A and B are shown apart, each in its own frame.
Chain A
Amino acid sequence: MTALALTSTPVFAPLAPVPQAAPAHWAYRRNRMEPGRETMTGRDTSALIAAVAATRDRAAFAALFQHFAPRVKTFMLRGGANAAQAEELAQETLLTVWRKADRFDASRATGAAWIFTIARNLRIDRLRREWRDAPGDGEIPEIADETAAADAALSGHERDARVRAAMAHLSAEQTKVVELSFFQEMPHAEIARALGLPLGTVKSRIRLAMNRLRDLLEDLS
């Protein structure tokens, strides 16, 4: 049903020119993809969000749900949620996508990045409160809206390809610490323990990896 919706929905822009970074991008994808795992390009995601915003397109929303909800659920699980919390937060994330679709600006962020920020903010807001058993005020500043890159001219597709190309330039070790710092609610000391490395090594590896990424992505926006 998803595949049908994807090919029959008339919301997709014509193919964008292949970005310069394509070879690295595809290599990155190929290395990391498991057999039978579906992917969605940046262009598709942006177009689906735009369709939800413009016409409250439920088929487009269902396609976004099928692709992202199970991944957001994994994200929440890795962040320390139990199965029920992860399920609820994944649903909540997609509900927010539906409600705020008109705030998504494809010229400023990839669809995946936008959905990531929604999931991240929900995780910050909800999980921290529940875990630490502290009284919450329910108010998290809208980080995503405050900080979205302002004056970009790249399409979501190009941006997505460039980000993947940049990530492909990291060493396997650097990729590992970047993934850990994005997906595990983990202080550096715990990352060090998980990797069996001295704390100083982990700190400098994270520093190097983040500097590298920032530099590689600098001309992105």
Chain B
Amino acid sequence: MTVTHHPSAETLGAYAAGSLDTARRLVVASHLERCGVCRRAVGNFEAVGGALLEDLPPTPMDADALTRLMARLDAAPEPATPQARPAHDMSGLPACLAPYALGRWRWIGPGLEVRPILLPQAGGARLLLLKGAPGARLPQHSHSGEEFAAVLTGAFTHDGGRFGAGDFEEADESVEHRPVVTPDAACICLIAIEGRVRMSGVVGALLNPFVRI
């Protein structure tokens, strides 16, 4: 299976720079786990970060900084091993989600469920899993902010093409799309949402009072 939709250069640059909020960083990271092309692009942007770092004017360290740090080298414990078990019980999720617990699946419409990923930091975009049954149709909706989505399993299609496992999509206020899950299998996406999602159309208007995404 090949990945055909990638993050923009701007997003990969922001990822490398460390300026994405946690939710968006994790959606990009889950794409990177499956996409060598973008991993290399991020590596290159990190090299730019290294070159820029070297060109920064130095700020003097405390006079005894090196001495104190040298003393800490002897005492330095081995770095803690990464936790062996994920903090959630759902299999098949990207490795970058392992540290995070999950909320409950919640019904948001015919064939559609969402499950929040519990991020420690308040603020920034929210992160959730969106599951669509085979053939499920997301109500037409628009965004009051930027949305990043990475397909984990299955596939959906809309005006912009077909998005399968590993694919990545960025949408902003200007995009109003209506994804449909392909009929062969359920689709699970990892989504970072900024602001509120507004459902439009008849079904959406009915759902809006009940469904807060």
A214 close to B121 (CB less than 8 A) = no
Give B82-98 interface residues, CB cut-off 8 Å to A: 82-83, 95-96, 98
For residue A206, which residues in chain B have a CB less than 8 angstroms away from its CB?
Answer: 10, 13
For residue B70, which residues in chain A have a CB less than 8 angstroms away from its CB?
Answer: 58, 61-62
Q: Is B76 an interface residue when CB atoms closer than 8 A count as contact?
A: yes
Output the least CB separation between B7 and chain A (Å). 11
Output the least CB separation between B174 and chain A (Å). 12
- Binary A-proximity of B54-96 (CB < 8 A = 1, otherwise 0): 1111111110011011101100101100110000000000011
Indicate which residue in A71, A72, A163 contacts B47 across the interface (CB closer than 8 Å): A163
Q: Is A70 an interface residue when CB atoms closer than 8 A count as contact?
A: yes
- Binary B-proximity of A83-104 (CB < 8 A = 1, otherwise 0): 0001100110011101110000
For residue A40, which residues in chain B have a CB less than 8 angstroms away from its CB?
Answer: 54
For residue B44, which residues in chain A have a CB less than 8 angstroms away from its CB?
Answer: 149, 163, 213-214, 217-218, 220-221
Output the least CB separation between A77 and chain B (Å). 6
For residue A32, which residues in chain B have a CB less than 8 angstroms away from its CB?
Answer: 55
Give bound CA distance, A29 to B99, whole Å: 41
Q: How big is chain A's contact interface, by range? A: 35 or more
Supply 29 A–B pairs (Cβ within 8 Å), ascending by A: A37-B57, A40-B54, A58-B73, A62-B70, A69-B61, A71-B56, A73-B59, A73-B61, A116-B50, A124-B25, A134-B120, A137-B99, A141-B29, A141-B99, A143-B29, A146-B95, A148-B39, A148-B46, A152-B43, A160-B50, A163-B44, A167-B51, A179-B52, A182-B17, A207-B10, A213-B13, A213-B45, A217-B48, A221-B40
Known: A69-B61, A149-B39, A210-B8. 12 other contacts (CB 8 A): A58-B73, A68-B53, A86-B59, A87-B61, A112-B47, A112-B50, A116-B49, A134-B121, A160-B50, A183-B52, A185-B19, A211-B9
